[in-house]
Amino acid sequence: MLALDFDGTLAPIVSQPDQARLPDSTRHLLQPLALRYPCIVVSGRARSDVTCRMEGIALAEIIGNHGSEPWSDLEPLRCWTARVLPVLRQCLSAIPGVEIEDKAASISVHYRRAFHRQRVIDMTSAVATDLGAGALIPGKYVLSLLPPGALHKGQGLLRALDAFGCSHALFLGDDATDEPAFALAAEQRVLGIRVGYRAASAACLYLKNQSEVDLLLHRILSARS
């Protein structure tokens, strides 16, 4: 199985998350790859959000909300986010440049355009602790709040491997939210490739930057051809 993160991996990071898009060059490589391998996307975005951005590619599955969609009962997760969102919005309302993204089964706090970034981190961390978040995962100028019982990307990927009868996967990601999937290398089922070197990462291999993703996809396609 070929498993891919979206933001920072398939799509370059942008200042406004809603403007992220799959480059045409990457789309043209993924279309034939998806006919040769079971290909999935494992994203922190909501599944419906990723689905519209991957239109025209015959993916085996799109896993959203870090791993919870489509594998989990979303109702308890939605109840938690509905309780936390008003508190989070009130706490962060006085800080310009913060965008709070409601993904139904999780929450993302984007602070790339905020001047008082450490204040955003501290206040979001306090809310996550006070209201019992299942996990608070730092990313590239984003904090992801996962409800109790939510799945992470490693769990979502393992369920996909089992669902499609695949013995192994190559997983490509770029951020802290991808580390649970990289860590699966210990089970000898997943080869992790990180976009951007990080010494502490559990990924076995890395690419220098996002611009090398197309080169990797091209080589995988050529090998299978």
5 in active site: yes
Separation between Cα atoms, residue 30 and residue 184, nearest integer Å: 24
129: its two tokens = 């602790």
Check 5, 49, 175, 178 and give the catalytic one. 5
Instruction: Please report, in angstroms and rounded to a whole number, the separation of the first and last CA atoms in the chain.
Output: 16
Pairing of strands 142-146, 135-138: antiparallel
In 3D space, the residue among 220, 69, 39, 37 whose CA is nearest the CA of residue 150 turns out to be 69
CA 104 to CA 79: how far, in whole Å? 9
Any idea what DSSP says for residue 127? H
Residues involved in catalysis: 5
